[in-house]
Amino acid sequence: MRLRVIGRLLQIQRVLVRHGLDAIILQTHLFRPLRFFFYLSPATWFERQRGGTRGERIRLALEELGPIFVKFGQALSTRRDLLPSDIADELEKLQDRVPPFPGAEARAIVERAYGRPVSEVFDQFDETPLAAASVAQVHAARLRSGEEVVVKVIRPGVREKIERDLEVMYVLAALARDYAAEGHRLRPVEVVREYEKTILDELDLMREAANAAQLKRNFEGNELLHVPAVYWDYCRPEAMVMERIHGIIISDMEELRRRGTNIQRLAENGVTIFFTQVLRHNFFHADMHPGNIFVQLDDPEYPKYCAVDFGIMGTLTARDQHYLAENFLAFFERDYHRIAQLHVDSGWVPADTRVEELEAAVRTVCEPIFNKPLSEISFGQVLLRLFETARRFNMKVQPQLILLQKTLLQIEGLGRQLYPELDLWKTAQPILREWAADRLSGRTLALELRRQLPDVSEALRALPQVLQQFVQQASDGKFRLKVEQAGIAELREELRASARRRDSTVVSAAALLGGLVWIAIGASPWPGVVLCVAGLSGALLARGK
């Protein structure tokens, strides 16, 4: 299994060398000594891509490396403030212009999913895709009943590629956890585990259809966002059918302006939609790159968002939602003491953190960005400074919030493209205040009590029986109180892993030493060489355990 991971790492470096991205290898320690092997390999030099701009070579390398790398490029493409324009322009093509797979293959997948010919399901099916992305591609079609629809089809073999790269990510995350100075604070294994759930869920189109239906229900009657209808009779895990929407892709600023779109209102509505999803519905679209957002201009003065691709949706626990919203509200009110106290109360920083010191650190980062338009603020830079603050106070990464943080960065990047003068605070603050007022209203408290009343009633009904069993066990001397110390299981597993690594290292060292001795005194050196290779391989594998 480890050899498969090493093989994939070598393949990644080979792709980088072939596309002339040698600097990435030189700047990392990932099998760095082996870079000379690729430079000397005739296959690498014959295949080496000498032409093309820097941005083109980066895009082509990400496409070749597969879905996870394409998604990384999509996320970066929204941050033009952090990238040179030539790279941003090329990465933008990853949003919906990934090389498609053959339309005939898509037709075959659809026919296998439905168990009958495409002609019996659709009146028309266009084999030329409308758009192609890293996990799936979309084809235009028309149902036999006459509705215009799109058919989304999962790429063949994509699950195997994703699972292989996830395995690589787990190995690298385990190495970072065990050997990096910041490993335990950054929780890399938990971060990869959270990402694994997200990316594997995206491969089930029945789940995506359910996500779309939920989001549509949440915004029923709302004029800000249109969600296409799902045709459930035609949905399968590997193929799904949705209403075809017609609109302008949100990154086409030239066409939006030509049509007289109220750009400021469009940008402000985007912020409103985001906070409504997070605070009111606790169900948010977490893949908000421009390729997934269109604009309908029935009335250019009141533009309407249209969302597509619902494979990645985010939710928060009630606790995280509460602390997050309170942090937002305190941030907009510049109540830095409240922010610091919330971080302690939520457990995001150690309990012994001095609130006054954390308050001063947050104030130093946040105060300079107020009263500035979005065009003069880079949240990317603010986040970097906040990460420095987090390191100082030993703040642990919260994997469950990573989707939200990623979506926030995408929203900021989108807002920067649409309307750089957007006043984010002015737009978001009323929504947060309304959330806070509604949360404390008598109606909300009454609804919460009503929702919990059956559970409370059931618990009260069972209480006499529980008390009777407790008294009986106590009188018979059979009562036992089970106490679990938090972290003991993790500590035991870490000790076992440490012992396994120690034993493997001892065996590997013995093999290496034996090989060296054999080479020194043996008639034939080859058994010694084999022992040395086995010892070195064992040492590498031990580090990965």
Average of per-residue pLDDT across 333-360: 87
> Whole-angstrom Cα distance, residue 238 to residue 108?
11
> Which residue in 22, 287, 309, 335 is the catalytic one?
287
> Whole-angstrom Cα distance, residue 282 to residue 468?
41
Cα 425 to chain centroid, rounded: 25
Residue 170 confidence (pLDDT) above 80: yes
Spatial neighbors of 382 by CB under 8 A, at least 6 apart, are 365, 366, 369
The torsion angles phi and psi of 80, rounded to 5 degrees, stand at: -65, -20
Q: What is the DSSP string of 478-503?
A: --------TTHHHHHHHHHHHHHHHH
Please report, in angstroms and rounded to a whole number, the separation of the first and last CA atoms in the chain.
11
Question: What pLDDT is attached to residue 374?
Answer: 59
> Whole-angstrom Cα distance, residue 340 to residue 345?
9
> Whole-angstrom Cα distance, residue 83 to residue 1?
36
Using CA atoms, how far residue 298 sits from 102, 150, 329, in Å, is: 35, 21, 35
Strand pairing partners for 142?
124, 148
> Among this protein's residues, is 178 annotated catalytic?
no
Residue 480 confidence (pLDDT) above 60: yes
Indicate whether this model's pTM tops 0.85: no
Using CA atoms, how far residue 17 sits from 63, 67, 147, 471, in Å, is: 15, 20, 48, 73
Closest CA to 545 of 488, 494, 492, 491: 494
- Among 199-213, 346-360, 428-442, 519-533, which is the least confidently predicted range? 519-533
Question: What pLDDT is attached to residue 302?
Answer: 95
Question: What pLDDT is attached to residue 87?
Answer: 82
Q: Are 205 and 114 in contact (CB under 8 A)?
A: no
Which ranges in 367-441 belong to alpha helices (H)? 379-392, 402-418, 424-439
> Whole-angstrom Cα distance, residue 207 to residue 201?
7
Tokens of 345: 């109360």
Say which residue the tokens 């396994």 belong to: 500
Tokens of 58: 């980066």
Say which residue the tokens 């799902």 belong to: 230
Q: Are 151 and 125 in contact (CB under 8 A)?
A: yes
Question: What percentage of the chain has pLDDT greater than the value 90?
Answer: 26
- Among 7-21, 126-140, 248-262, 456-470, which is the least confidently predicted range? 456-470
> Which of the listed CATH numbers 3.30.70.100, 3.40.50.2000, 1.10.510.10, 1.10.730.10 matches domain 103-156+204-314?
1.10.510.10
Stated as kind and residue range, the H or E segment containing 43 is helix 42-47
* 201-254 pLDDT per residue, tens: 889 999 999 999 999 999 998 999 999 999 999 999 999 999 999 999 998 999
> Whole-angstrom Cα distance, residue 356 to residue 338?
10
Helix H, strand E, coil C: the string for 241-304 is: EEECCCCEECCCHHHHHHCCCCHHHHHHHHHHHHHHHHHHHCCEECCCCHHHEEEECCCCCCCE
Confidence of residue 493 (pLDDT cuts 50, 70, 90): low
> Whole-angstrom Cα distance, residue 97 to residue 153?
15
Spatial neighbors of 443 by CB under 8 A, at least 6 apart, are none
Spatial neighbors of 279 by CB under 8 A, at least 6 apart, are 321, 325, 431, 432, 435
Tokens of 374: 């979005």
Average predicted confidence (pLDDT) for the chain: 77
Question: What pLDDT is attached to residue 429?
Answer: 79
Instruction: Provide the CB-side half-sphere exposure for 311 (13 A, CA).
Output: 26
Confidence of residue 527 (pLDDT cuts 50, 70, 90): low
> Whole-angstrom Cα distance, residue 242 to residue 106?
16
> Whole-angstrom Cα distance, residue 328 to residue 337?
13
- Among 37-41, 66-70, 103-107, which is the least confidently predicted range? 37-41
Residue 152 confidence (pLDDT) above 80: yes
> Whole-angstrom Cα distance, residue 37 to residue 6?
15
Q: Are 288 and 421 in contact (CB under 8 A)?
A: no
> Whole-angstrom Cα distance, residue 67 to residue 14?
18
Q: Are 36 and 22 in contact (CB under 8 A)?
A: no
Helix, coil or strand: residue 308:
coil
Q: What is the DSSP string of 501-535?
A: HHHHHHHHHHHHHHHHHHHHH-SSSHHHHHHHHHH
> Whole-angstrom Cα distance, residue 387 to residue 79?
18
* 323-332 pLDDT per residue, tens: 888 888 888 7
Sorted by where each begins, the domain ranges of the chain are 2-94, 103-156+204-314, 158-199, 318-439, 500-544
Question: What pLDDT is attached to residue 31?
Answer: 47
